[in-house]
Amino acid sequence: MRQRLATLVVLAGLFAATSAHAGHHLWVFSEMFSNASGSVQFMELFCPDNNESGLGPFTVTSTTHTFNFVTNLPNTATANTYVLIATSNFASQPGGIAPDYFVPASFFPTGGGTLNYASGTNVWNYGTVPTDGVHSLLPNGSTATNSPHNYGGASGSVNLASSVPMLPRWGIVILVGALLLLGSGLLTRRTQAA
């Protein structure tokens, strides 16, 4: 009887230890984005394998801030998934999607710095982040049109580029014509007054 009880206790302990400790070490930074003011930012983590849902006790630190995950992911089906960490206003931007976790504005500096996931599990020493409202920085140092993904499988692409309104060609023709007419009227008045 004691042997059965001891076997059951060992098996229960193994089961509890296995289910309570999920992995976290395969997540890597895959993209970061910021607008010029830093009021809209995101960072994305990617995982190539399953059973990596144990983010809860870990952090992401930037050169200037720290974010605590606090909660684990809802399931262990993490193969080829992303986690989106963004400012709270990110989802409301044109092309934005719902983040999985939230950070304050200007979480990371755009002039270069360091992102550190889980106390050195993945460290990204990055250069200047594009702030044109369209492009993001990739870990290899290149830039591309931003393409955020969240854990639920949604993807998007924000466009926060500020543009100067352009006049169509006919508008330019009318503007130039009006300036010429105005100029000729002023010249006529001066010659008549003299």
Residue 34 buriedness (CB in 10 A; 0-12 / 13-18 / 19+): buried
pLDDT mean for each 10 residues of the chain (194 residues)? 51 42 89 97 98 96 96 96 98 97 98 97 98 97 98 97 61 66 61 56
Is residue 40 one of the residues assigned to a domain? Answer: yes
- Using CA atoms, how far residue 45 sits from 13, 21, 37, 124, 126, in Å, is 32, 20, 23, 11, 15
Whether residues 40 and 132 share a domain: the answer is yes
Whether residues 48 and 98 share a domain: the answer is yes
Whether residues 30 and 94 share a domain: the answer is yes
- Using CA atoms, how far residue 122 sits from 27, 154, 158, 171, in Å, is 7, 24, 26, 54
Is residue 152 one of the residues assigned to a domain? Answer: no
- 19 alpha-carbon distance from chain centroid: 31
Radius of gyration of the chain (CA): 28
Report the distance separating Cα 66 and Cα 130, nearest Å.
Answer: 22
Whether residues 134 and 44 share a domain: the answer is yes
pLDDT at 159: 95
Is residue 110 one of the residues assigned to a domain? Answer: yes
Whether residues 102 and 57 share a domain: the answer is yes
Round to the nearest angstrom and report the end-to-end CA distance of the chain.
125
Contact 44, 84 (CB under 8 A): yes
Range of the domain at 119: 23-145
pLDDT at 162: 76
Is residue 67 one of the residues assigned to a domain? Answer: yes
Whether residues 171 and 77 share a domain: the answer is no
Whether residues 117 and 183 share a domain: the answer is no
Query: How many domains is the chain built from?
Result: 2
